[in-house]
Amino acid sequence: MTMLKLGNLILSVPFIQAPLSGYSDYAMRRLGLDFGVPLTFSGVMLAKSAAHPKVLRNPAFRPHDDEHPVGAQILGNDPAMMAKAARALEGAGFDIIDLNFACPAPKVLRRRRGGYLLKEPETVKQIYSRVRDAVTCPVTMKLRTGFDSSRESYDNFYQIVFDASQQNIDALTIHARTVVRKFAGDVDWQLLAEIKHRFEGTTLIGSGDLFEAQTTVQHLKAAKIDGVLIARGAIGNPWIYKSLNAVLAGMPAPTPPALAEQAEVILKHFEMICQLYDPIKAVRYFRKFLVHYCRLHPRRKQAQKVLLAANDRTDLLIAIKRWYGNNHSLREK
Comparing C-alpha atoms, which of 37, 197, 44, 207 is closest to residue 113?
44
pLDDT at position 331 is: 39
pLDDT at position 42 is: 96
pLDDT in single tens digits along all 333 residues of the chain: 689 999 999 999 999 999 999 999 999 999 999 999 999 999 999 999 999 989 999 988 999 999 999 999 999 999 999 999 999 999 999 999 999 999 999 999 999 999 999 999 999 999 999 999 999 999 999 999 999 999 999 999 999 999 999 999 999 999 999 999 999 999 999 999 999 999 999 999 999 999 999 999 999 999 999 999 999 999 999 999 999 999 999 999 999 999 999 999 999 999 999 999 998 899 999 999 999 999 999 999 999 999 999 999 999 999 999 999 854 443 333
Question: 269 with 19: CB under 8 angstroms?
Answer: no
Domains of the chain, by residue range, sit at 4-248, 259-330
Instruction: Return the SS3 of 36.
Output: coil
Question: 175 with 102: CB under 8 angstroms?
Answer: yes
Question: 34 with 67: CB under 8 angstroms?
Answer: no
Q: How far is the C-alpha of 195 from the C-alpha of 160, rounded, in Å?
A: 12
Side chain identity at 277, as an amino acid letter?
Y
Question: 156 with 97: CB under 8 angstroms?
Answer: no
pLDDT at position 60 is: 87
CATH number at 4-248? 3.20.20.70
Q: How far is the C-alpha of 282 from the C-alpha of 284, rounded, in Å?
A: 6
C-alpha neighbours within 13 Å on the C-beta side of residue 210: 31
pTM for the whole structure: 0.94
